Each structure stands twice: as C-alpha cells, then as structure tokens.
Structure 1
Amino acid sequence: MAVDLPGGVFRMGSDTHYPEERPSHRVRVGAFSIDETAVTNTDFAAFVADTGHVTVAEQPLDPAQFPDAPPENLVPGSMVFTPTRGPVDLRHLSQWWRWKPGACWRHPRGPRSSIEGLEDHPVVHVAHADALAYAAWAGAALPTEAEWEYASRGGLDGATYTWGDEPRPGGRIMANTWDGPDFPWRSTGESGFLRTAPVGSFPPNGYGLHDMAGNVWEWTDDWWTSRHPDDATSACCAPDDPRGGDLEASYDPAQPQFRVGRKVIKGGSHLCADSYCLRYRPAARRPQPVDTGMSHVGFRCVRRPATVEGTP
C-alpha cells in the first residue's frame, strides 16, 4: 500500500548532529507516492517466484575482483550482525559484523536459518541491484535521498525525529532501535525485538508511514556525498528534486583498491544505539557499497506521476 504525498519545500539535513548531514539546506520535491512500509519477505518472495531473480548474496564472488582471496572464501554469502561477548572498542565495526557463507534473504542469519515466521519482516541482505530489480518489477523506483527524507519527516519540518523532538514522548518507544547503553553485546529488550520487527509494529509518522526510523536502513538511488550542498542564497531558489553526487565521488577513499560505488542509505536500524549511533533520524545518512547487502539493510519503493510529453 502506498501513500500519496504532495511534495513541497522542506529543510533537509542537520547542523547539530553528524558532519555528513551538514549543511542543513532547503530543497523542493515534487509529488510522489511511497510505500507505507519496507518491502517484506513475502513481497520479495513473490517477486523472486515470478522472475527467478537471484540476489547478489546468492551469487559466487568474482575471483578477478578478489585476486588474493582463497577459493573457499569466494562463496555466496552476506554480512550478519553477531553480538559480542562483552564491551568492545566501538571504533571497529568488524567486531560485530561477520561474513557468513550462505546468508541471504532466504537465510538471514546463515544457512541454517530461514524466513519462516518472518514473512512480515523487512527483506534484508539485498544489494542495490536487487532493490532496483524489485522496484522495476513492481512498476516503481527507489526514492531519491530528498524524497526519502521528506517522507520520513511526516510534515514535521526541522524536527529531530520522525515524530518530533523527544526521543521517547511520554516514555513511549517509537521505533525498533537498540535498547540500552550496552551495544553491541547486551540489549535490555525493552522494545520486544532483538533484531528486525514485523513492519508496522511501531506508530506511523504524520504521513502514515511506518518504520521511517529504525528496523532497517533503506536504500536510496542517490550516490553518496560526504556533505550536502550549501543552502540557496535566495528563498525562491530551493533546488527542485535534487540528486546526490556521482559514481566517482562515491568511492571510499579509505579503500582505493576497491572501486565500488556507494549509495546513500537512510533511516537507521535496530542496531542504532543512543550511546553509539544516533542515526534513527530523518537527517541521518550513511554510505553503503552497492554490491553489499547486510542483515539490517532493506528498502521501500516510490512512484512518481507520469511525465506528459510536451509539458515542462
């Protein structure tokens, strides 16, 4: 089910949180509709049954891209969150992420797991190409970063969260995020979920959209940039339907040997902890390599009005 949004001018980004969210700036987006929830395992299974699509995580790695890797490592798989046994140095993500052969959308925690009982959870372990393929099959598209953030704000322009400025209004838990300060080894379990939750388990935002904060990060179709453009100097000149950077600029400078483009993901996930990653906010953004699915990354689709030939 999709929600129709009229579009308009809003303030994108944040000047008070992480550097990549700066500067806050005005943009204008046109009318579009967006899925009420992230694409679920049931949705994705219907797509695979109809098309025979094989996800990136189900395909063997190309030896030419990893010339130094032993053959036993070039097997299909994906990245799975694995809690640590105790406190760790939070600067090193590799301590709680594991490459698991056999992990994919059908087997989200590894080859012995399944999506039985998770039919209404968001599909995960989907690379950008997988999300694009689903969107094309559904007659839709992936949102731009501006569209996604506009939708996420739910009409609360400039608010910290999708529901306002208080993290827990009236003590109510508003999103599936990490519970307690002890990430990544011990959750208090207050939200009722240790990993993904069924879509729609938490209150919708002002536009009726669920899980625009937490649960899973969501793909957009914009190339990553390390900062936003400067704000327009004139109130009349907010850019229309802006797009991100380009492929070359999206490469990770810390890994020059891997020329893999990175797209913007939005919304945070069930692994966002206030003590570590305060990114379950509309302005939050992270880069994600297009060939890498993970156990906390999913997507939702948008549809835009058809352009009438000969009109501006």
Structure 2
Amino acid sequence: MALGGGPFRLGSNYEFAYPQDGEEFTTEVTLSPFLIDKHSVTNQKFMAFVEDTGYVTEAEEIGWSFVFGGLLPDDFEDTRGVQGAPWWRQVFGATWKSPAGPHSTIKGKLDHPVVQISWNDALSYANWAGGRLPTEAEWEYAATAGNSGTIFPWGNQLTPDGEHLMNVWQGSFPDKNLETDGWYGTAPVGSYPPNKFDLHEMTGNTWEWCQDWFTNKRKPKLKNPTGPLTGTAKVIKGGSTYVMNHIATIPTCGKEFNHTDKRNGTFGFWASL
C-alpha cells in the first residue's frame, strides 16, 4: 500500500500509556510517502523467501524457541519458562515451520502470519524482498491511518457495538481463553476489517518488529525519525493474540522491545519500502 505521509503526532497522552516505554511522550513528526504491506508477512511469503535463498532462521540455528504453554500437549515434558512469564516455555524444535514445536506444523496455515521470527530474520526477508522494516513512526502512522492520537486502528472504543476487531486474549490469562473473537492462537491475515488505509490486524494477532532501536525519550520535532543510532533492543509494535483484551494493553501507541536475536510464537513483522 502506498501511504502519503505528512505531519503526524507520534505517541499518545491517553491515561493508560506507559511512560517507561515512552508511549505517553508525543512528538510531532513529518513522514515522507512510503509503501507498506497490507498485512503481516505470512507463512507462505516467508516460505518463498526460504526456498529462494536457503535462509536458516535463528530459531533453527539455535535449535529451540519459546512457545505459549497453552499450545503444548498435556503430556509435554516440563521445560524452563521465561522468568516472570512462566507460560512461555522453552521448546526444542520450535521454528517458523513448527511454531509450537515438533508436534506442530504450518500446514493449512499458510495465510497466517509467520512467527518465531527474530529481528535479524525479519530484516533478512525485507532485504530479499527489496524493502526494509518500517520505522516505529511509520508503523504507528499506518496503524492509526494518519489519525494522530487514535487509540485503536478503528477509533477509540475497544469493541464498538460489541464487535471484536482484533485477535487478543479473551478471558482469564493465561488459563482460559473464551475465544469470543474467534481464535485461539494466530488468525489468518485479513480476518478482521481493515483500517481506513486498508491495512489489516495492526493490533493483536502478532507483535511486529520495527526498524528502530528502542528508546523511551523523544525529541520535540522530527522528520522521518529512525530512532537512536545504537541500542540494545529493537521496537516491537501491535500486541498479539496473547495480550489481554483491555484498553491499556493494545493501543496503537503501545510498544515493547527485545533483542535482535530473540523470537517466540508471537513475533512476526511487516515489510516496508
């Protein structure tokens, strides 16, 4: 999709913004026109990249990744979890082709967003495709359809008229997902209505890697900002299917960060030009 760019306010002053992540600090930015995919990169597209290049992802090289415990069989061996988030379990053999471990497959899910992708993997795909990863500012501009300060891609109500417009956790996390939005785990791209830029699932479903190094500080006015020159972690945007269905957890201004080699069953990406 070709987006026109222009002036835009990055960040939000809404009451649930996290200052430690830099979400509540608004910055006036100006963006040049750019291109971005209509949805997350799918398993099918990533498969084409791998078949063309022979690329091996970092999860494949290392031999394991983290998988949400609810996707594992009841008799799955006990493995270490993430400190502070034990529902994420270390699973040997978890890769983009087997995102929940050796017992899983992407068969029948080629239209789902690819996951178990590190920032380095995402960048390699983007380079192959002749593009790059979107900056944080570009991603947020695309998510809000250029409407500065909008909490969600469709407006400011979490479920307008009772309709679920994104794939997030419904129920008591991490034990019970009511699946009232239709999905447990990832949903196929295009499952939910697009925003005014005709872009799908810019919140929920999967976290998306951005180009920028993470910072929680911003300058007052910027043109085509790309973040700090150096850092220790990259920005990820959008939330995922394992984020709670609450206005505080999945706004368009929301972000997290992680190291470039980290991957799990919710890390995917968009491509930009």
Identify whether the pair has TM-score above 0.5, normalized to the shorter chain: yes
Tell me, yes or no, if structure 1 residue 271 matches structure 2 residue 242.
Answer: yes
Letter in 2 for 1:242: P
What number of residue pairs does the alignment pair up? 260
C-alpha distance in structure 1 between counterparts of 2:118 and 2:133, whole Å: 13
C-alpha distance in structure 2 between counterparts of 1:283 and 1:116, whole Å: 34
Choose which of 162, 167, 192 in structure 2 pairs with 1:176: 167
Q: 5 Å matches for 1:248-287?
A: 250=231, 261-274=232-245, 278-287=248-257
Partner of 1:209: 199
- Alignment RMSD: 1.8
Deviation at 1:11, TM superposition (A): 1.0
Tell me, yes or no, if structure 1 residue 36 matches structure 2 residue 38.
Answer: yes
C-alpha distance in structure 1 between counterparts of 2:217 and 2:152, whole Å: 19
Q: 5 Å matches for 1:140-219?
A: 140-180=131-171, 182-219=172-209
C-alpha distance in structure 1 between counterparts of 2:89 and 2:125, whole Å: 26
Letter in 1 for 2:31: V
C-alpha distance in structure 2 between counterparts of 1:5 and 1:212, whole Å: 15
Choose which of 10, 13, 19 in structure 2 pairs with 1:12: 10
Deviation at 1:155, TM superposition (A): 2.8
Letter in 2 for 1:284: G
Deviation at 1:134, TM superposition (A): 0.6
Partner of 1:83: 70
Choose which of 211, 218, 235 in structure 2 pairs with 1:229: 218
Choose which of 42, 48, 69 in structure 1 pairs with 2:50: 48
Deviation at 1:230, TM superposition (A): 4.4
Choose which of 73, 76, 96 in structure 2 pairs with 1:105: 96
Unaligned runs of 5+ in 1: 61-75, 86-90, 232-237, 251-260, 304-312
Partner of 1:138: 129
C-alpha distance in structure 1 between counterparts of 2:127 and 2:210, whole Å: 14
Partner of 2:78: none
Q: Decide whether the 8 Å contact of 1:272 with 1:278 is kept in 2.
A: no
Q: Decide whether the 8 Å contact of 1:202 with 1:210 is kept in 2.
A: yes
Partner of 1:302: 272
SS of equivalent to 1:83: helix
Unaligned runs of 5+ in 2: 75-81
Letter in 2 for 1:83: G
C-alpha distance in structure 2 between counterparts of 1:23 and 1:192, whole Å: 34
Deviation at 1:25, TM superposition (A): 1.7
Letter in 2 for 1:13: G
Letter in 2 for 1:10: F
Q: Decide whether the 8 Å contact of 1:29 with 1:240 is kept in 2.
A: yes
TM-score (norm 1): 0.80
Q: Decide whether the 8 Å contact of 1:156 with 1:163 is kept in 2.
A: no
Partner of 2:29: 27
Greater shift after overlay, 12-21 or 215-224? Answer: 12-21
C-alpha distance in structure 1 between counterparts of 2:146 and 2:126, whole Å: 25
SS of equivalent to 1:129: helix
Identity of aligned residues (%): 42
